[in-house]
Amino acid sequence: MKNIIANAFKNANKENRPALISYTVCGDNNKKISLDILNSISSYLDVVEWGVPHNCPTADGKEIQNSSYRALKNGIKLNNVFEMVKKYKKNKNAKPLILMGYYQMIFNYGEKKFVKRCRDAGVNGLIVVDLSYPDNKKFAQICKKNSICFVQLIAPTTSKKRMREIIKISHDMVYMISMISTTGSALKVTTKKIMENYKLIKKVNPSKNVAIGFGITEKTIKSLKKADGLVVGSAICKEISKSIKNRQNAVTNVTNVVRKLKNKIK
């Protein structure tokens, strides 16, 4: 299965740089601003991630939790997310889009119905944080049948045997968690150690696209530019919070942050 996410990595590689992937929460702090932000930053990105707002985002730190809280407070529901994906995909600068969320909402909605709705809306990939291997094998197959890239997660604590199994069944992208922590935490390991772990994954299957997430900021991103892809989330969500607090233009401020990140990896 070849997905446009794979093409995004391929195009970035041709430019001798990692694919830059953003993460924002869909609907933060309202539908219009959230969509305006994504439309504005897309020209600097290769892939975009939209988080589905959740009232208990266990893998996320305070910045993304704050984003989720604001979106939920403004009444964002799952159906709104699908509608907003459709609107985003009409933009000529739209990039491959990954939805990230938790399994409870998918289970409640119905797996097949959820994936079909994703496909119809224009979603290209899915990350389900709390649905790990091997429990995700059936769901990954449903995604594959609908031409949606199911993104597997690999942590620093993942054994070599388990890593090989995960990579073997993975689709076009693997998400490497840089450290054991929640999103937005300061790096507790050196970027050198992160790249060593990255190389272990690439050694198993060099053809798999591996993106590194957690702790990626303007300060750390340059040291990790040899990776296939880099995911920046909390730094962006933090800028949205800051803009709201200071009554500034979140679209302009977030675009400036993303542009600086892109310049660091050129």
Active-site residue list: 49, 60
Per the CB < 8 A criterion, the answer to whether 32 and 205 are in contact is no
Which backbone phi and psi does 180 adopt, to 5 degrees? Answer: -85, 105
Residue labelled with tokens 């690439």: 202
CA 33 – CA 65 distance, rounded (Å): 18
Which residue, 175, 259, 226, is CA-closest to 12?
Answer: 226
Whether a cis peptide bond, with omega within 30° of 0, leads into 134 is yes
Kindly tell me the sign of the dihedral angle through the C-alpha atoms of 157, 103, 205, 202: negative
CA 25 – CA 27 distance, rounded (Å): 6
CA 12 – CA 20 distance, rounded (Å): 8
Per the CB < 8 A criterion, the answer to whether 211 and 174 are in contact is yes
Give the DSSP letter of residue 155. Answer: -
- Residue 104, token pair as written in the block: 């409870």
Which backbone phi and psi does 3 adopt, to 5 degrees? Answer: -115, 155
